[in-house]
């Protein structure tokens, strides 16, 4: 079990994505990922080594009803004891994962966003999650993930960095959800608001 964890940042904001969009949340961003997605906007190079106690006390300093373990790929680094001590703060522990790592079984809410349509060696090993979030590029098919059991299925248009392309992808995702109502449209609220 790791004695310290590579933490890129811990900050308090509003969750901008998925079914918790709008919920005040403490984000614990781990540094490092096993994949290299072409659209990745995470800085994997900078981090602080923090102990479990330091992470928990930093999380405690903030209000908010959920803690979101994110990255990078948090599944590479976390363990059941860290999750348990974060739960002891009274906050619900959520994770955002690419699904390629087995996870501790005491996490309250798992959001899986498979990246195998964009990267090699990215097939998910998880077969179930609370929320399945597919980044829609126009070339990938959300139905390819029918084999994953999920309470919520969210289709999120890819942020390509090109506003015209983004507009077309959002319109296509909108139509897809109308035709396949088991999916809901997910927009990145923090980008619309220009906050973290």
- CA atoms of 51 and 174, how far apart (whole Å): 43
Query: What are residue 25's DSSP bridge partners?
Result: 13, 66
35 interacts with ligand SF4 by CB under 6 A: yes
Tell me how far, at minimum, the Cβ of 63 lies from ligand SF4, in Å: 26
Residue from 40, 76, 101, 187 binding ligand SF4 (CB under 6 A)? 40
Tell me how far, at minimum, the Cβ of 115 lies from ligand SF4, in Å: 5
- CA atoms of 4 and 49, how far apart (whole Å): 6
Minimum CB distance to ligand SF4 smaller for 13 or for 89: 13
Binding string to ligand SF4 for residues 87 to 106, with x set by CB under 6 A, is what? -----------x--------
The residue ranges of DSSP E strands in 71-178, in sequence order, are 92-97, 109-112, 128-136, 149-157
Region of 7-15, 66-74, 150-158, 184-192 interacting with ligand SF4 (CB under 6 A):
66-74
Minimum CB distance to ligand SF4 smaller for 32 or for 56: 32
17 interacts with ligand SF4 by CB under 6 A: no
Give me the helices (H) in the chain, please: 52-60, 80-87, 163-179, 189-193
Q: How many CA atoms lie within 13 A of 17 on its CB side?
A: 24
SS3 42: coil
Q: Which residues bind ligand SF4 (CB under 6 A)?
A: 33, 35-37, 40, 42, 71-73, 98, 115
């Amino acid at each position: 079990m790791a004695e310290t964890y590579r933490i890129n940042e811990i900050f308090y904001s509003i969750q901008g994505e998925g079914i918790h969009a709008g919920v005040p949340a403490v984000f614990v961003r781990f540094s490092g990922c096993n994949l290299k997605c072409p659209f990745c906007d995470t800085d994997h190079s900078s981090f602080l080594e923090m102990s479990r106690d330091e992470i928990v006390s930093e999380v405690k300093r903030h209000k908010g009803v959920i803690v979101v373990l994110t990255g990078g790929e948090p599944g590479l680094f976390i363990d059941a004891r860290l999750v348990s001590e974060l739960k002891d703060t009274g906050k619900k522990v959520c994770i955002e994962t690419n699904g390629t790592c087995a996870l501790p079984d005491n996490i309250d809410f798992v959001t899986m966003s498979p990246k195998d349509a964009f990267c090699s060696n990215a097939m998910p090993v998880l077969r179930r999650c609370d929320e399945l979030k597919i980044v829609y590029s126009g070339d990938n098919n959300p139905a390819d993930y029918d084999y994953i059991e999920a309470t919520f299925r969210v289709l999120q248009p890819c942020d390509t960095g090109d506003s015209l392309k983004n507009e077309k992808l959002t319109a296509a995702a909108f139509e897809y959800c109308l035709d396949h109502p088991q999916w809901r449209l997910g927009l990145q609220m923090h980008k619309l608001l220009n906050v973290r």
